[in-house]
Structure 1
Amino acid sequence: MQARRIARELSLLSISQLPANQSRLDDQQLQNIMLAAVRTLTTEVQETLETAAAEVKRGSDRLLSSETRASDVQSARAMVQEALDLAQTAINRVGMAVELPELIQLTNQKEVRAYALQVISTLNANTAAVDELLTQSLVDWQLNRLARIDRDILRIAVTEIMYLGVPDKVAINEAVELAKRYSGSEGHRFINGVLRRVTEQIKTKSV
C-alpha cells in the first residue's frame, strides 16, 4: 500500500471523529483523533468478521431450506442462489477484514501519520473555502444533505487539490478509490462527477 493512500484513508476515518464545532485543533488533539480512528478500524475488523459469520450461517440455513421447503426446482434454485450470494458477501467481508490489520499497522508509520495530520489540519483550517467550492460544484444537491462519508471524501480531495499541490487527476482517482471502499454502490461515480466540476471551477477562477 502506498503511504499517501493509507494516509488518506486514515484522514477519512479521523475526520469523522472531529468535533462538531471544528475550532483550530493543536497537534495533540489531532493525534488523539487519529488514535480514535485507528481504534475504529480495530472495531471494524471484529464487526466485519462477525457479520461475515452471520452471513455464512444465513447462507447455510437457506441451503437447508431449499432441500426441505422448496415446492419446485425453480424456488429451490432461487434459494440456493441466495445462499451463494450470502456466502460471496461473507467472503468479501473477510477479505476486507484481512486487509485491515495491515492498514492499522501501517498507520503507525511516520510518513503516513505526517501526511494524514497535514490533510486534517489543512482541511480544518480551510473548511469554509473548501465547502464553498464544493457547494458551487454540486448540481441538484446540497452539501449538508450528502452522506457524511461522501462529504468527507470530497473535502479531502478538494483540500489536496487546492492546498497541498496534489494533481487533480491523482486526487480524483484516490477519492474514487476511497468511495468504492466506504461509500454506497453509486458513490464513486457521484464523487467523480463532483470533483471534475470542482477542477473546472478552479480552472475558470484561475483564468
Structure 2
Amino acid sequence: MQARRIARELALLSISQLPATQENLEAQPLQNVVVAAVRTLTSEVQDALETASAELQQSNTRLLNSETRAADVASAHAMVTEALTLTQTAINRLGAAIELPEMVQLANQHDVRAYALEIIQTVKANRQEIDQMLTDALVDWQLGRLATIDRDILKIAVAEIGYLAVPQRIAINEAIELAKRYSSEDGHRFINGVLRRVVDRVRTESKSPQNG
C-alpha cells in the first residue's frame, strides 16, 4: 500500500512532464519520474512566492496611500493574509519536494516505478474515455476549466477505477488524500463529489439491460 500511495503521488506530480508515448514512458527510470515530480513542486513554490510577493507589494502601496481610510486598511490586511497563505503553501510544497525522494527510497522502488508508470500510461492511453466519464459527472463545471491538479487527481482516480481494477472506495479515498495534500482548501470535497457521481454512473450503466 505504501508503494502504491507514493506511486500515485509521483504520477500526479510528473504526469504533465513525462513523454506521452507508451514506448518512451516504459523507458523512463525511476529517477526521471522523481525529478519530474520535484520539478513540478518547485515550480509551484516559485509561482506561489511570486504571487505572495505581489500581494505584499500591493498591500504596502495601499497602506501608504490609505491615509488611514478603513476600507483601504481592511483591503491591505486581506492582501497580507492572502500573501501569508500563499507563502505557507509554498513552504508546504517545498517540504513535499524534499520529502519525496526520501519516501521513494524507503519504499519498494520497483513497485513504485511500475505502478506510477502504469497509472500515467493508462491515463494517457484512455484520455478520451476518461475525460468523457468526468465530463458526464461534472455539474456546472467544465473539465478544461478545473485547476490542473484537481483534473489530474480525478483522471488518476477514474483510471484506477475503470482500468486498473482498484476498488472504488480505495480509489476515492486515495484521491481525497491527494487533494488534501495538493489541492485548495475545499478541493477534497469537490473531488469526492465528482468521483462519487462517476461511480454512480458506472453502477447504473453496469445494471442497464444492454449490459446484463
Fold agreement, TM-score > 0.5: yes
1:25 pairs, out of 10, 23, 26, with 23
- Over the aligned positions, Cα root-mean-square deviation in angstroms equals 3.8
For structure 2, the 5+ residue unaligned runs are: 208-212
For residues 134-174 of structure 1, the C-alpha deviation after alignment (integer angstroms, 9 at most, x for no partner) is 34433455545655443322221012112333222221222
Q: Which amino acid aligns with 2:168?
A: D
Bigger mean CA deviation after superposition, 76-85 or 97-106: 76-85
After alignment, is 126-135 or 160-169 more displaced? 126-135
Partner of 1:72: 68
User: Equivalent residues in 2 for 1:152-171 (5 A)?
Assistant: 152-171=152-171
Give CA-to-partner distance per residue, 1:31-50, whole Å, 9 cap, x none.
26971562452463376268
Please say which of residues 108-117 and 6-15 is displaced more in the overlay.
108-117
Query: Partner residue of 2:210?
Result: none
| TM-score after normalising by structure 2 | 0.69
What is the aligned partner in structure 1 of residue 41 from structure 2?
Answer: 44
In the alignment, structure 1 residue 176 sits paired with structure 2 residue 173: no
Residue 7 of structure 2 aligns with which residue? 7
Q: Does 1:93 align with 2:90?
A: yes
CA 1:148–1:25: 2 relative to 1, 3 Å: farther
Tell me whether 109-118 or 54-63 shows the greater mean CA deviation: 54-63
2:80 to 68, 75, 83: 83
> Which consecutive residues of structure 1, in runs of 5 or more, have no partner in the other structure?
none
Equivalent-residue separation in structure 1 for 2:176 and 2:185 (angstroms): 12
Question: For each residue in 1:109-149, what CA deviation from the matched residue of structure 2 results, as whole angstroms up to 9, or x when unmatched?
Answer: 41322321222233344444434433443345554565544
Distance 1:153 1:95, change over 3 A: closer
SS of the counterpart of 2:23?
A: coil
2:122 counterpart of 1:122: yes
Give the aligned partner of residue 106 of structure 1: 103
| AA aligned opposite 1:177 | E
What is the one-letter code of the residue matched to 1:166?
V
Post-superposition offset of 1:198? 1.2
How many residues are paired up? 203
Q: Pick which of 46-55 and 192-201 moved more.
A: 46-55
